Structure 1
């Protein structure tokens, strides 16, 4: 009997191009050669999907050490849900876990057991889990790096110590321990801890509770404060989202109000002047905000064009922000809004290739 690997790759590309996206992704796991097929296989999916369900249920005695885990992904414009997980899992990791970040088909989860934090990477497309070393400290910010060009992955957490010290931990999949860096934060304001992190082009960025911006260069192991004191705006936000996209940094600040509408302000970092500048409109882009946030072009991009100049936060209603925006009554728009309301996290769909757990672990050894 001939192997699947004997099929000509041009035939496989034609077959994959006719499949639904979820099937395109999974079929690449059938044969190793298929995972490196041309990136030009047609696809219209240039936006993130939503993880709309992640639940765990205690399993009855005598299986007290396991729980039942359910995970669903949603393709927003068609409101199509995929049940990607429905199985028994170890209670030590999945019990009470919540997503901290997402990148190229993988999610970073944390499970806090009061004395320490257990973190793990989870891929809903392959249902694989990569356990990470335990951390004894509280983690106010966490994210990781991963993209289509390489399975090289670095997990980043940040915290703060007494005074103005910042504590950074990094590790790679397969590591047995974290590498810890401690720096004087360099922030001007006292007791100004970092609260949000984002990754872009070899740099982990983090913003403090007062808007001061710092950067950690992974390759050099160096910490730099990017904002100057004059550039720190009057921060009165309950929480923030930080987006690193196409060489730009955006900060979305939220404040709860007594009215139904939440206060929202969007800032962009000016690297030359080293300060934040308020953005009055999104220039026909759409922002997907959550544990990891995304900025995507929307104008003239098919099913996403109705979202131009919108912010879609996880678990909340869509917000129009500046620009020439108008509400829409289309079914596509309604599907997007409802998906956002139910979203637990936004996740980038690995269209080009699907990195497995072995890919991530082996890349760390190179």
Structure 2
């Protein structure tokens, strides 16, 4: 072996081996791996991390200083807390999250409190420190957590944001739009919107309609059609399902693997029941168990997470995040039947502080904007 062949740069490390190594690293370790050299950054652009459990994104503010709050990321797989350098103003609320992005509403304190312009909406990616601003609504939006959702990656032209107005109105916009579009597709259907979900280009809206009689919820579906600069809803169907009256105003829609799911509390906040909406039979099909998945519940965001071998011990479990107080138990098991391990019980809420939190998954594509903007 000559001297020239013995000395090689890290950039000559085989690409296929780089990929195999990256697949076994958690997101924060992938960042360090890609920082070795420029070629590794290019070769490992879109490799999914080993993270299976959802991270938690939070911000907290001191009750005595209601100006701004500190943001944190929690990695449950490594039980590591990261402080984000970015701060959020007091009163910020978290809504939907996908692809490493979270939809946030912030208070514009320079505007009169009864004005529609008082709320500002932005996408924020705490993993890459990117922000995408959205237009200011011309009319007030109801910002209940499950009534403000988005359909895809905010960096894509296919992404649509859906919001609920003060009546049975829906509002839409896309990143880059200058205004929200108002839709009257629900004004003759029901009384109270309960939850929204978007699955494969179809918007689903669950609502109560007591004037139609019975203990039911109603489910309207609309094909989302993009016409030049405008979003149009094409009605598909209206279904109704009988559920306990006590659960009507606590039901949530969930998208999972192209299916639409419905969940609501069975008897208290800790236990729940999950159904798949069978559109061919027009009925709800109850899940006997969650199989190789775990259900993560929050104040607004519910997500059903598929699990592989590394985290299979958490299959068929439910994890409830309520103001940074966690409990994890088996699906449809007695309340006292907690699962082991408890993946989130190490996250503690500081005293004399208020929290806003939401589940979030690391992004697949690590962009050139990636920065080391957080610290342990």
**TM-score range relative to shorter protein:** 0.7 to 0.9
Q: What is the aligned partner in structure 2 of residue 127 from structure 1?
A: 129
Partner residue of 2:91 out of 96, 106, 122: 96
Q: What is the aligned partner in structure 1 of residue 362 from structure 2?
A: 349
How many angstroms apart in 2 are the aligned matches of 1:355 and 1:169?
32
| Cα contact 1:35–1:353 (8 A) shared by 2 | no
Partner residue of 2:151 out of 145, 161, 164: 145
Query: Is 1:214 aligned to residue 209 of structure 2?
Result: no
Q: What is the aligned partner in structure 1 of residue 254 from structure 2?
A: 243
Query: Is 1:294 aligned to residue 303 of structure 2?
Result: yes
Gapped regions of structure 2 (runs ≥ 5): 1-10, 108-112, 209-215, 227-231, 350-354, 371-376
Q: What is the aligned partner in structure 1 of residue 100 from structure 2?
A: 105
| Cα contact 2:273–2:332 (8 A) shared by 1 | no
Q: What is the aligned partner in structure 2 of residue 3 from structure 1?
A: none
Aligned-partner SS, 2:115? coil
Displacement, 1:49? Answer: 1.2
Q: Report matched runs for 1:251-290 at 5 Å.
A: 251-254=262-265, 257=268, 262-290=270-298
Displacement, 1:232? Answer: 3.7
So what's the TM-score if we normalise by structure 2?
Answer: 0.71
Displacement, 1:46? Answer: 2.9
How many angstroms apart in 2 are the aligned matches of 1:184 and 1:213?
11
CA deviations 1:13-41 (Å, max 9, x no partner) are 83983865225358879979947845446
Give the number of aligned pairs. Answer: 324
Q: Report matched runs for 1:1-366 at 5 Å.
A: 14=18, 17=22, 20-25=26-31, 34=41, 37=44, 39-40=46-47, 43-51=49-57, 53-56=58-61, 67-83=67-83, 85-87=84-86, 94-111=89-106, 113-116=113-116, 117-135=119-137, 136-139=139-142, 140=144, 141-147=147-153, 150=156, 152-159=158-165, 161=167, 166-185=168-187, 187=189, 190-191=190-191, 193-209=192-208, 210-219=216-225, 221-224=232-235, 226-229=237-240, 231-237=241-247, 238-254=249-265, 257=268, 262-290=270-298, 291-298=300-307, 301-315=308-322, 316-322=326-332, 327-329=338-340, 333-339=341-347, 344-354=357-367
Gapped regions of structure 1 (runs ≥ 5): 1-6, 358-366
CA deviations 1:119-176 (Å, max 9, x no partner) are 1111101222222222222324111122499564221112363xxxx32211122222
Name the larger-Rg structure. Answer: 2
CA deviations 1:166-219 (Å, max 9, x no partner) are 3221112222211222124563xx52x212222222222221145211223222
So what's the TM-score if we normalise by structure 1?
Answer: 0.73
How many angstroms apart in 1 are the aligned matches of 2:342 and 2:270?
20
| Cα contact 1:97–1:111 (8 A) shared by 2 | yes
How many angstroms apart in 2 are the aligned matches of 1:8 and 1:318?
46
Check 1:132–1:233 CA distance in 2 against 1; reply closer, same or farther (3 A cut): same
Moved over 6 A (4+): 26-33, 340-343
How many angstroms apart in 1 are the aligned matches of 2:42 and 2:163?
30
How many angstroms apart in 2 are the aligned matches of 1:286 and 1:145?
22
